[in-house]
């Protein structure tokens, strides 16, 4: 009688205890994936087996629970498909589900091992490390100014959109005092921006000239506080309250042209010329209201970085502007179980895993990205504690086998 079977059982049980212990130890490790040992029996050319052996360690890549952190640089793959692609200081490409990143001294987003998160550049082809921007966003002069739906004017009203109100008096602009009283029904101020990002106020005065007909007068103020004429626009409406347009519509029917000269704006800036789009304007009996969007803005300082679910990495500036600086890349594999663990919750590709398939989040089967959260370990602690008890009992049983065999051997030695 030999001790080989029991010894192999002890060795396999010890390996199983190591695997379970590692799972338990990493139950609080972000992005950790639990493992399970696989075992096989050993047979020779005899009816009695020779014991057991560890044949491999299989990792469970099921998704862990997402936990909020509040850190704007923390990320998680919100689903089963995809790994973050990172590059270590030696240039080795690794893959991880641990999305704990912070800017390093050079502004690159790195994990605690110093591996840099990578993304697609704006060309959608080149892979680059993600870097937090540090500069300002340059100003942009106003080029378009759109009156967003709905812009509502009273059908025949002037004050409180009363249908019995008369049309406005003749338009008159005094360079010192501004428009004459009664020559307009409503005024709308809006800030526009010159080539250096300086803000200027443009005043729009809406004057009713007849039923279903309005004029918009554009007025600015120069560096001396004097009013100046910056253009005008006629708006005609149908009886149903819609802007009267030809088919196809001519630009002059819905585009108001504004021109503010450099001499009026000061500071040596370029002339400011742009158009206001009124194509969605309406004339109903409701209250007067207006919404604006425009393309101009002043200089803005970098304020924060954010990540969209589709992987767009955006820089947010103090002037309210947002710029996409890169697009996060995810990697997937034909056989994720074939990846080789290299520590730090990272893996590298192998022949068994196949080459990585790269893509952007929320596209072509890739999972979405969640920001300010991390993926917790997928270890089921209750299950692992039960497995620990079973493994311990198995180890003890194999120890008992050795003890029994020792007793039998002693009995043989004591035979006379």
Read off the pLDDT of residues 147-169 as tens digits, 9 standing for 90 and up.
Answer: 443 332 222 222 222 233 467 88
Selection from 401, 335, 406 nearest residue 12 by Cα: 401
Whether 172 and 211 share a structural domain = yes
pLDDT of 288 strictly over 80: no
Selection from 268, 263, 349, 323 nearest residue 132 by Cα: 323
Torsion of CA 169, 175, 178, 183, to 10 degrees: 10
pLDDT of residue 201: 82
Whether 181 and 248 share a structural domain = yes
Structure tokens at 297: 């803005």
Residue that is last in its domain, among 323, 339, 364: 364
Whether 341 and 403 share a structural domain = no
Task: Report the C-alpha gap between 408 and 382 in whole angstroms.
Answer: 40
Task: Report the C-alpha gap between 323 and 123 in whole angstroms.
Answer: 15
Selection from 5, 288, 315 nearest residue 134 by Cα: 315
| Domain assignment present for 331 | yes
Q: How many CB atoms lie within 10 A of CB 276?
A: 23
Whether 181 and 119 share a structural domain = no
Whether 157 and 77 share a structural domain = no
* pTM, full prediction: 0.66
pLDDT of residue 307: 96
Whether 282 and 343 share a structural domain = no
| Domain assignment present for 79 | yes
Of all residues in the chain, what percent carry a pLDDT higher than 90? Answer: 34
User: In terms of residue numbers, what domain contains 89?
Assistant: 73-136+302-364
| Domain assignment present for 277 | yes
Residue that is last in its domain, among 248, 271, 294: 294
Bond prior to 344 in cis (omega within 30° of 0) = no
Read off the pLDDT of residues 51-89 as tens digits, 9 standing for 90 and up.
Answer: 777 778 888 999 999 999 999 999 999 999 999 999 999
Read off the pLDDT of residues 299-326 as tens digits, 9 standing for 90 and up.
Answer: 677 889 999 999 999 998 887 778 899 9
H or E element, residue 146: strand 144-153
Whether 269 and 161 share a structural domain = yes
Whether 48 and 14 share a structural domain = yes
3-class DSSP state for residue 346? strand
| Domain assignment present for 401 | yes
Count up the domains in the chain and report the number: 3
User: At CA 190, angle to CA 320 and CA 248, rounded to 5?
Assistant: 100
| Domain assignment present for 309 | yes
Selection from 239, 226, 227, 238 nearest residue 187 by Cα: 227
Average pLDDT over residues 12-31: 87
């Amino acid at each position: 009688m030999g001790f080989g079977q029991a010894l192999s059982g002890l060795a396999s049980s010890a390996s199983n205890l190591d695997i379970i212990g590692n799972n338990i130890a990493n139950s609080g490790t972000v992005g950790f994936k639990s493992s399970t040992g696989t075992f096989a029996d050993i047979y020779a050319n005899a009816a009695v087996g020779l014991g057991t052996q560890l044949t491999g360690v299989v990792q469970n890549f099921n998704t862990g629970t997402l936990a909020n952190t509040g850190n704007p640089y923390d990320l998680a793959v919100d689903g089963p498909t995809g790994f973050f692609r990172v590059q270590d200081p030696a240039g080795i490409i690794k893959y991880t589900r641990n999305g704990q990143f912070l800017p390093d001294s050079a502004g690159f987003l790195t994990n605690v091992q110093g591996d840099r998160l990578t993304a697609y550049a704006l060309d959608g082809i080149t892979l680059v490390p993600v870097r937090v921007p540090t500069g300002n966003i340059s100003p942009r002069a106003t080029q378009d100014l759109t009156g967003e739906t709905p812009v509502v004017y009273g059908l025949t009203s002037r004050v409180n959109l009363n249908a019995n109100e008369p049309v406005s008096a003749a338009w008159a602009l005094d360079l010192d005092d501004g428009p004459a009283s009664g020559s307009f029904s409503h005024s709308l101020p809006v800030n526009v921006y010159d080539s250096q990002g300086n803000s200027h106020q443009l005043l729009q005065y809406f004057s009713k000239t007849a039923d279903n007909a309005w004029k918009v007068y554009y007025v600015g103020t120069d560096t001396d506080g004097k009013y100046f004429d910056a253009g005008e626009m006629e708006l005609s409406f149908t009886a149903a309250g819609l802007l009267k347009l030809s088919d196809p519509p001519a630009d002059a029917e819905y585009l108001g042209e504004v021109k503010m000269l450099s001499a009026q704006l000061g500071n040596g800036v370029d002339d400011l010329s742009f158009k206001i789009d009124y194509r969605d304007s309406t004339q109903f009996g409701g209250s007067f209201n207006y919404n604006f969007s425009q393309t101009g803005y002043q200089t803005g300082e970098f304020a924060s970085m954010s990540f969209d679910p589709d992987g767009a990495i955006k820089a947010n500036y103090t002037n309210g502007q947002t710029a996409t600086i890169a697009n996060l890349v995810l990697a997937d594999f034909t056989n994720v179980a074939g990846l080789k663990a290299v520590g730090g919750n990272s893996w590298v590709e192998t022949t068994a895993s196949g080459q990585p398939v790269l893509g952007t989040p929320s596209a072509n089967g890739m999972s979405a990205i969640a920001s300010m959260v991390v993926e917790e370990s997928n270890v089921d602690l209750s299950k692992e504690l039960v497995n620990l008890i079973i493994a311990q009992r198995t180890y003890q049983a194999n120890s008992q086998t050795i003890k029994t065999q020792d007793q039998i051997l002693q009995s043989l030695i004591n035979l006379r």
